[in-house]
Amino acid sequence: MSNKPAGHKARKRFGQNFLHDQGVIGRIIRAINPQHGQHMVEIGPGLGALTEELLDACQGELDVVELDRDLIPVLRTQFFRYADTFNIHEADALKFDFTALKQDERPLRVVGNLPYNISTPLIFHLLSFNGLIQDMHFMLQKEVVDRLAAGPGDNHYGRLGIMAQYYCRVEPLFIVPPGAFSPAPKVDSAIVRLVPYAQPPYPAKDVKQLQNVVRTAFGQRRKTLRNNLKPLISADRLEALGIDPGLRPERLTLAQFVAISDALSDAADTPCEPN
């Protein structure tokens, strides 16, 4: 699946960079380790570089979500012999309801060479379906993988990494050079594995509250928690939680963000005293 069909050019508006390096493809498949009978989901199959390898390995069910309508007939023709188990969904993965794919007790195993321009919002979208998913393996811009895996104090640490790590174990696997793609991107890519927790290590009382706290805290990275979180919580209440309000947001752990979120949830649940 390294050869492009005649006449098809990668579309910049879809962020298309087609994987063609067979050595890299093999390494990705080994990392995913698809097994017989598993329910695989591929986002953005493109020209099918990973698709046939997945179909051969799992001998189960493969759903693919592809936005580029010109690629749909190419994929149908290329994989016609898998018609009973190969399902193509012409859709925008950012808006796709992944619950529609779940037909039985098997969890979904999600794979994708994600376009750089939608990778962050797409990961947030997929995290909302984490209860259906066994694991996710993505090809992403290396900087995005760095952000997903970053810890407190790291320059890459922020909203994406905190929320991904709330839901999942994040494992950066290996770097993929630009030459593995056509056209070659201007940056390195990397493969990352996300494994949803059965139970988050630091479960928040209200995940939406946590998301709001993290978003607000990183509204202006250079400012302190005292300034950024002022609309939500006072410096005195932060100190009561054992958190220095003079810190910048990238110094806080996930557990500390959850503590702030839970304090706000508790305050919202406390009935007002009558006058």
Q: For 100-114, write each residue's pLDDT tens digit.
A: 999 899 999 999 988
Q: How confident is the model at residue 197 (pLDDT cuts 50, 70, 90)?
A: very high
Residue of 119, 106, 109 lying closest to 187 (CA atoms): 119
Element spanning 28, H or E: helix 22-32
Between these two residues, 137 and 16, which has the higher pLDDT value?
137
Does 47 show up as a binding residue in the annotation?
no
Our CA angle for 76, 103, 130, nearest 5°, is 100
Does 92 show up as a binding residue in the annotation?
yes
CB burial of 69-94 (b: ≥16 within 10 Å; e: otherwise) equals eebeebbeebbeebeeebebbeeebe
* Res 5: pLDDT: 43
pLDDT above 90 for 214 = yes
What domains are defined for the chain?
12-196 (3.40.50.150), 207-269 (1.10.8.100)
* Res 256: pLDDT: 98
Element spanning 87, H or E: strand 86-90
Does 68 show up as a binding residue in the annotation?
no
Our CA dihedral for 145, 148, 153, 158, rounded to 10 degrees, sits at 120
- Tens of pLDDT, residues 33-48: 999 999 999 999 988 8
Does 225 show up as a binding residue in the annotation?
no
Does 171 show up as a binding residue in the annotation?
no
Does 44 show up as a binding residue in the annotation?
yes
* Res 195: pLDDT: 97
Rounded Cα distance, 258 and 269, in Å: 16
- Tens of pLDDT, residues 171-195: 999 999 888 777 776 888 999 999 9
pLDDT above 80 for 3 = no
Residue of 94, 118, 224, 219 lying closest to 159 (CA atoms): 219
pLDDT above 90 for 115 = no
Over residues 212-232, mean pLDDT:
95
